[in-house]
Amino acid sequence: MKIIITENQLKFINEALGVPENILDAAEVLFDIVSNNIKSINRKENEYEFSGELDFELGGKKKIVIDSYELHVEVEELDGYNGEVMIASMGMAQSFNFDRKVMMKRIEPSSTAEVSITYGVSEEWEPHELYDTLMKERVLHLSSIAHELKHKYDKQAKELDLIGRDAEYTATQRRSTFGIPVIDHKFFRYMYYTSIAENLVRTTEIASKLKSKNITKSQFKEFLEGNRVYKELLEIKNFTFDNLIEGMREQMNRVDALLDHIGEDPEGMSENEKIDMVLNLVYVNLVNIRMSTFIEMISDKGDSVRDFLMQLAGRVPSFLKDEDEEKKMDKLRDKFFNYVTKFKDNPTQFFKDECEKFNYVSTKMLKKISKLYALAKDDDEVNESIINWELHQQLLEKKYGKRKIETEIKFKKK
């Protein structure tokens, strides 16, 4: 029996599955514009800028309008790299301020899609390779544009939100590297992948590929099982705390090197003692980067007069202080500090809890993604027709330098 779904019903299904109305079509239009801009590049530079007009209205009940775009292309030459041009990351900026009156982040409304693309290249790269690389995996990169549009939609559609989640999300990408693959390339990547911000966009990303490839209902199972996001979520679902520990045991030479790096002597330690010390070290550094990110996000960096007077006086002048407001800020800061240091006396439990969270979140997302079956075309209707995590981390280190590995929590309650 064939079930007929009306256009309005399809829109409702899209929204329920986390795919806002018009977003897939908008992503295709924006991708074509971006690709044409990049195709026009004919000289070697480190950066390129493009801009123009758009006419998008995304979403059903919650609508946002996008009437222009700005494209920033960055090309990073990698020391000692001789491979093909690669895309390290795509992003879409969205500004916000911390509103001290309500102690929450407030999104600054913007109708401009600010797209950024970062390439990693060898010294011998040629301009045409930027376009060739983008188009070689068109479906993947189109879905990344849809992914970024969904990020913008989520942020813009919610004017006020808690700041802590943003601090955690950003800190996961800024954290130190420890030279142990199971920590750097699995545990932290899984933390990023299962964050709330990333989970909100996954269905849109996969729906974009579904649409681009004209997948039918009979092809859906094979499509899903071969999808990069789906496979990653399965990998995360099956990752356990025991896998984390075993991955460290298999790399004890790297564990020893890390301990030696921070001035500890691993010679007299058992494997378990070394692992416990490394877990504590990773936890301490994560606490510190989360706290510093949080403090940065709630600072008065947007108040130029206040900043100028602080530079002169070395502190906030008393006549600019609001005592009640400062007390609220201290209370908010301490609340976040208590949250991120919850496991300071038992860091191992933090890692156990995170691994359990990986399983819970990935299982939930796998179920949600499987419901995209409803958006696959009926077989008789069809006409034929964060990207590289390791590279992105490498470019961050090149741009900002390696973060110092810290051995103790440097923040204290007020």
Report CA-CA distances (Å) from 252 to 78, 161, 180, 243, 258. Answer: 29, 42, 9, 14, 10
Farthest CA pair distance, the chain: 77
Cα(255)–Cα(213) distance, integer angstroms: 44
Confidence (pLDDT) at 380: 62
Cα(264)–Cα(277) distance, integer angstroms: 10
CB 386 within 8 A of CB 192: yes
Confidence (pLDDT) at 319: 44
β-sheet bridge partners, residue 216? 377
Confidence (pLDDT) at 175: 82
Burial (CB count <10 Å: 0-12, 13-18, 19+), residue 38: buried
Cα(280)–Cα(258) distance, integer angstroms: 12
Cα(156)–Cα(143) distance, integer angstroms: 20
Confidence (pLDDT) at 179: 95
Question: Which helix (H) or strand (E) covers residue 116, if one does?
Answer: strand 112-121
Q: Mark 379-392 as b/e (b = at least 16 C-beta within 10 Å).
A: eeeeeeebbebebb
DSSP string, 86-114: EEEEEEEE--EEEETTTTEEEE----EEE
Confidence (pLDDT) at 122: 96
* Residue tagged 């992503």 (tokens): 27
Confidence (pLDDT) at 105: 87
Confidence (pLDDT) at 13: 43
Q: Mark 182-217 as b/e (b = at least 16 C-beta within 10 Å).
A: bbbebbbbbbbbbbebbbbbbbbbbbbbbbbeebbe
Which has the closest alpha carbon to 166: 175, 155, 157? 155
Phi, psi of 3 (to 5 degrees): -100, 125
Confidence (pLDDT) at 102: 86
Confidence (pLDDT) at 231: 95
Which residues, at least 6 apart from 229, have a Cβ–Cβ distance to it below 8 Å? 202, 205, 206, 369
The SS3 call for residue 20 is coil
CB 181 within 8 A of CB 251: yes
Confidence (pLDDT) at 411: 83
Query: What is the crossing angle of helices 138-157 and 196-212, to 10°?
Result: 140
Question: Which helix (H) or strand (E) covers residue 221, if one does?
Answer: helix 220-225
Cα(192)–Cα(359) distance, integer angstroms: 14
Confidence (pLDDT) at 77: 95
Residues of the chain with pLDDT under 70: 1-17, 300-322, 380-385
CB 194 within 8 A of CB 13: no
